[in-house]
Amino acid sequence: MNNEHKPIVEGQEKDGGESQEEAEIIAYIDGPFGAPAEQFRGYDHLIFVASGVGVTPFSSIMITLLYELKKTETKLPHKSVSFFWIQRQYNKTDYMNNIFKDIINEDKERIFDLNVYITGAQRKYDPR
């Protein structure tokens, strides 16, 4: 990971001479590198973002996490797991529904945040 980017703090000027307020969150986004399921275990906070059929590799991660939740006396090493899936058609979400239901039932620590966004209209003149 390249750490050359530093947050701009209050009173400091950026290139255009404008003063910026302190950055509250620093996020480094890098990649993609290989399969997304390769190195998710080493992080406290997991954020998965997928669209359409791009959810497929993340479904295997979610199934793995679900399996670990179902183990007796096992607590996941993660503090939070946020999952965002952007899907055009509602009827395509059936693919993950059973996994989501099981995770909701097994998530005693409430570390999962599951989000599905439907972006396509459901009917011809549907304003969604």
pLDDT of 1 strictly over 50: no
Q: Is 8 exposed, middle or buried (0-12, 13-18, 19+ CB in 10 A)?
A: middle
pLDDT of 18 strictly over 80: no
Q: What is the mean pLDDT of residues 28-40?
A: 68
Query: How many Å is the maximal CA-CA distance in the chain?
Result: 57
Maximum mean pLDDT: which of 4-8, 35-39, 57-61: 57-61
Q: What is the mean pLDDT of residues 5-13?
A: 52
User: pLDDT grade, residue 14 (50/70/90)?
Assistant: low
CA dist list (Å): 56 to 40, 51, 80, 85, 119: 15, 10, 21, 11, 18
The pLDDT score that the predictor gives to residue 21 is 61
Residue tagged 């679900």 (tokens): 66
| Cα 1 from Cα 83, distance rounded (Å) | 23
Tokens of 55: 């959810």
pLDDT tens profile 75-107: 888 999 999 999 988 878 887 889 999 999 999
| Cα 20 from Cα 76, distance rounded (Å) | 38
**What domains appear along the chain, each with residue ranges and CATH number?**
45-118 (3.40.50.80)
